[in-house]
C-alpha cells in the first residue's frame, strides 16, 4: 500500500470517484486554481476542468444551498467550506433544507451530497477558525456525520460518503492533514457505523475521535508502561454511531473514558456516555469519564490554546481515576 498523507488520501478519494461518476462536481472557495487552502483539491481543476471543479465567490449559503438543489436534481456535489466555523453563514441550507427534505417530502427526495469542512484547534487560528462542532451536526436528524482520524480511513470514508444518498457532513481535523500513513489503492470504501479498534486492550475503553485518537494512542502507550491495558476505539462516524462496537468493548473492559476536542458540555461524548449508561450500565465497574475541552471558545494565545486542547496527561489521569 502506498504511503500518503491525510490530505493526499482525500485528494485521491476525489479522483477515484470523479473518474467513476461524471455527475460528481466539486465546488467551494479556492478549491480550483488554489487547490484548496489545505491542498485537498489540488490538481482536480486541471484533471477535470471547470465544469466539474468550481471556484465559487465567498458565498457559503449559496455553496451549500446550490449543492442541495443540485443533489436533489440528480448531481452528486462534493463541496468544501474551508473552516467548519463558516457553517454558521450557511446553516439554514444544511439543516432546514438538506437534512429535512427527504422526511418532509414523505421520503421522495434523495440528497446525495458531501459537505467537507476543516475543524480543530492547534495552529493559533483563534475562535472563528478552530472549532469542533460535531455534536451540533449529530443533533440534526437527516445528516450523517463522519470524522476520520487516519489517511486510510479518510479515503475509504470519503468514497463511502460520496456514494451515500444522504447529505453527509465530513469533518477533517486540520492537525491531521500532514499525517502520513498507508492508504489502500484505488477504489475501496469503509462502511459507515463501524467503529475501528485502533489499539486493543483489556482494562479500559477509550473512545476518541479525529486528532484525539492519536493523543489517546500515545496515552495508551504510556499507560501500558504502568501496566494498564487501554483499548482505543475510534467511532469514525458519529452518525450513524456504532453503538454495538462501543458496547462490546465496554463489556470487555468495564470502564469507559471518552475523549474529544469539542467542548465537553453537550458534546458528542455526552451522547456516547448516555447510550452506554442506558444499554450497558451493568457492565460498568466505574463511572464514565469524559476528557474534552472546557466550555469556552478556542483562544488564540498559544499557552491558552494548548490548555484548551485535551492532553495526553488529562487522558492518563482520567484512566487512572476509572481504574481506582
Q: Which residues are catalytic?
A: 129
| 60 near ligand TPP (CB under 6 A) | yes
Decide whether 82 or 217 has the Cβ nearer to ligand TPP: 82
- The CB-of-39 to ligand TPP minimum distance in angstroms stands at 15
Nearest CB to ligand TPP, comparing residues 85 and 271: 85
Q: Quote the least distance from Cβ 83 to ligand TPP, whole Å.
A: 7
Residue number, 85 or 172, with CB nearest to other proteins: 85
Instruction: Determine how many CB atoms are found less than 10 A away from the CB of residue 166.
Output: 19
- Shortest Å distance, C-beta 9 to other proteins: 23
What is the Cα–Cα distance from 271 to 267, expressed in whole angstroms? 7
Q: Which residues sit at the interface with other proteins, rule CB under 8 A?
A: 29-30, 33-34, 37, 55-62, 85-86, 88-89, 123-129, 294-297, 299-304, 307-308
Q: Does 82 bind ligand TPP (CB under 6 A)?
A: yes
Site string for ligand TPP, 14-53 (x = CB under 6 A): ---------------x------------------------
Task: Name which of ligand TPP, other proteins, none residue 300 binds, using a CB cut-off of 5 to 8 Å depending on partner kind.
Answer: other proteins
Residue 317 contacts which entry, other proteins, ligand TPP, none (Cβ below 5-8 A, type-dependent): none
| Residue 80 interacting with ligand TPP (CB under 6 A) | no
Count residues near ligand TPP (CB under 6 A): 6
Cβ atoms 142, 100 nearer than 8 A: yes
Among candidate residues 296, 295, 310, 308, the one with its CA nearest the CA of residue 257: 310
C-alpha cell, 307: 490548555
- Which of other proteins, ligand TPP, none has residue 96 at its interface (CB below 5 to 8 Å by kind)? none
Nearer to ligand TPP, 82 or 98 (CB): 82
Q: Is 277 within 8 Å of 288 (Cβ atoms)?
A: yes
CA distance 214 to 237: 16
Which segment (41-49, 82-90, 130-138, 216-224) binds ligand TPP by CB under 6 A? 82-90
CB of 86 vs ligand TPP, minimal distance in Å: 4
Backbone angles phi, psi at 171, to 5 degrees: -105, 125
Residue 305 beta carbon to other proteins: minimum distance, rounded to whole angstroms: 8
Interatomic CA distance for residues 220 and 84, integer angstroms: 29
Out of 39, 55, 56, 89, the only residue in the binding site for ligand TPP (CB under 6 A) is: 89
The binder of 61, among other proteins, ligand TPP, none, by C-beta within 5 to 8 A per type, is other proteins
CB of 23 to other proteins, least distance (A): 24
57 interface partner picked from ligand TPP, other proteins, none, CB below 5 to 8 A per type: other proteins
The rounded distance, in Å, linking the Cα atoms of 276 and 106 is 32
Is 234 among the residues that bind ligand TPP (CB under 6 A)? Answer: no
Task: Work out the number of other CB atoms within 10 angstroms of the CB of residue 284.
Answer: 17
Chain residues binding ligand TPP by CB under 6 A are 29, 58, 60, 82, 86, 89
Amino acid at each position: 500500500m502506498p504511503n500518503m498523507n491525510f490530505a493526499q488520501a482525500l485528494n485521491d478519494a476525489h479522483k477515484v470517484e470523479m473518474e467513476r461518476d461524471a455527475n460528481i462536481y466539486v465546488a467551494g472557495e479556492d478549491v480550483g486554481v488554489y487547490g484548496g487552502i489545505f491542498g485537498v483539491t489540488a490538481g482536480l481543476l486541471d484533471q477535470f476542468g471547470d465544469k466539474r471543479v468550481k471556484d465559487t465567490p465567498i458565498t457559503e449559503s449559496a455553496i451549500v444551498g446550490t449543492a442541495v438543489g443540485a443533489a436533489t436534481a440528480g448531481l452528486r456535489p462534493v463541496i468544501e467550506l474551508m473552516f467548519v466555523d463558516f457553517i454558521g453563514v450557511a446553516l439554514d441550507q444544511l439543516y432546514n433544507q438538506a437534512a429535512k427534505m427527504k422526511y418532509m417530502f414523505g421520503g421522495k427526495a434523495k440528497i446525495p451530497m458531501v459537505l467537507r469542512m476543516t475543524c480543530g484547534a492547534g495552529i493559533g487560528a483563534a475562535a472563528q477558525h478552530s472549532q469542533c462542532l460535531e455534536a451540533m451536526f449529530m443533533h440534526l436528524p437527516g445528516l450523517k456525520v463522519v470524522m476520520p482520524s487516519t489517511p486510510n480511513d479518510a479515503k475509504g470514508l470519503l468514497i463511502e460518503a460520496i456514494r451515500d444518498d444522504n447529505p453527509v457532513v465530513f469533518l477533517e481535523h486540520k492537525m491531521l492533514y500532514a499525517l502520513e500513513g498507508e492508504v489502500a489503492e484505488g477504489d475501496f470504501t469503509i462502511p459507515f457505523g463501524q467503529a475501528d479498534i485502533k489499539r486493543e486492550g483489556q482494562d479500559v475503553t477509550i473512545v476518541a475521535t479525529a486528532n484525539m485518537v492519536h493523543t489517546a494512542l500515545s496515552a495508551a502507550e504510556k499507560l501500558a508502561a504502568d501496566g494498564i491495558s487501554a483499548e482505543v476505539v475510534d467511532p469514525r462516524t458519529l452518525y450513524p454511531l456504532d453503538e454495538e462496537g462501543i458496547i462490546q468493548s465496554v463489556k470487555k473492559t468495564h470502564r469507559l473514558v471518552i475523549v474529544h476536542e469539542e467542548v465537553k458540555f453537550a458534546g458528542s461524548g455526552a451522547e456516547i456516555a448516555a447510550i452506554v449508561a442506558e444499554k450497558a450500565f451493568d457492565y460498568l465497574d466505574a463511572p464514565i469519564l469524559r476528557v474534552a475541552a472546557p466550555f469556552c471558545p478556542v483562544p488564540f494565545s498559544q499557552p491558552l490554546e494548548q490548555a484548551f486542547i485535551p492532553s495526553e496527561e488529562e487522558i492518563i489521569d482520567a484512566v487512572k481515576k476509572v481504574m481506582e
